[in-house]
Amino acid sequence: MSTLVIGTRGSKLALWQANLVADTLRATHPGIEVRIEVIRTTGDHIQDVPLARVGGKGLFVKEIEEALRDGRADIAVHSLKDVPDTVPEGLVLAAALPREVPYDAFVSERHDRLWDLPDGARVGTSSLRRAAQVRAARPDLEVVPLRGNVDTRLRRLREGLDAVILAGAGLRRLGLQDRIRELLTPPEFIPAVGQGVVVVECRERDPETRRRLAPLDHAETRVQVRAERSFLRTIGGGCQVPLGAHARLEGDRVVVIGMVARPDGSLVLRDEVSAGASEAERAGEDLAQSLLDRGGRDILRELEENPPWGT
């Protein structure tokens, strides 16, 4: 068999995910050779600026997708929450692996719950979605910008922060689940679209690679992904808009909860819709339209006129 080259970011978490895909491919297709190629992305280069200020889409995937298109890589492994609502022409998300815990995690050295923090406590995150929901729940707290890999963010707890909010999936994958004090769950805290999902991208016109990836695609996760990404495409925005959605399966139906908010947390719009699992995209669209009609358009207009991190 020819060698499959995996394009990935070089962080500890990204490499863990790439190796998961590599090991799964080797187990599924005995004798296959898989090699990992680290590719540095724009998001990796920019560590001292909030992502919403940087703007643009695909800060953590663009360079990897370029390697796919020019043949330097055969497949790309991403955290789905980093992937824009549409992929470039000629590429396809061929597999979504079984989802890890999708929720945000509250991490602190001294406090067990977000609600236990004292007035004025400092909470680190650079996600507009996380910040808006923290501010809505606890307007007395100070939200502090926080970038960097997982180890860097955890280190900030020893350097003056009272708590940080991180993806529970990343902590669990790195064996750091004991650092999780509390999982922040819906309806008060809604995760990012695709949070906890590892996806594999390849060239659309590469039937052999798509055949090899097909067994990695997890049916339940795929339904969730279809609903959540349909919501994202319909509502628009990305990292410059505080928004989130999470889909779950209940029998043969998919239930999607979503939110869009002002960055200061003064208004958080939430709603939930359901549909048959075969109509997952429609569920995501209906949810987005509901939130847009209930004030989401006004929030998007405000953010366009007054970007949350300035111009």
Q: Is-catalytic flag, 82?
A: yes
Q: CA geometry: angle at 195 spanning 84 and 14, to 5°?
A: 80
CA distances from 34 to 25, 37, 66, 79, 264 (A): 8, 10, 19, 19, 46
d(CA 91, CA 297): 31
Which phi and psi (to 5°) does residue 242 adopt? -75, 95
Give the whole-angstrom CA distance, residue 160 versus residue 144.
11
Q: How many angstroms separate the CA atoms of 255 and 29, rounded?
A: 35
State how far the Cα of 8 lies from the Cα of 302, in Å rounded to an integer: 35
- The partner residues of 184 in beta bridges, in order of sequence, read 104
Give the integer Cα–Cα distance in Å for 205 and 74. Answer: 11
Helix axis angle, 280-291 relative to 219-235, nearest 10°?
30
Integer Cα distance of 36 and 18 in angstroms? 7
Query: 60 CB contacts (<8 Å, ≥6 apart)?
Result: 9, 41, 42, 43, 44, 78, 79, 82
Tokens 């109509």, residue? 279
**Given the residues 44, 48, 82, 252, the one annotated as active site:** 82
Separation of alpha carbons 63 and 137, rounded Å: 37
CA 263 remoteness from chain centre: 18
What is the C-alpha to C-alpha distance for residues 115 and 91, in angstroms, rounded to an integer? 44
* 3-state SS assignment for residue 291: helix
Residues marked active site are found at: 82
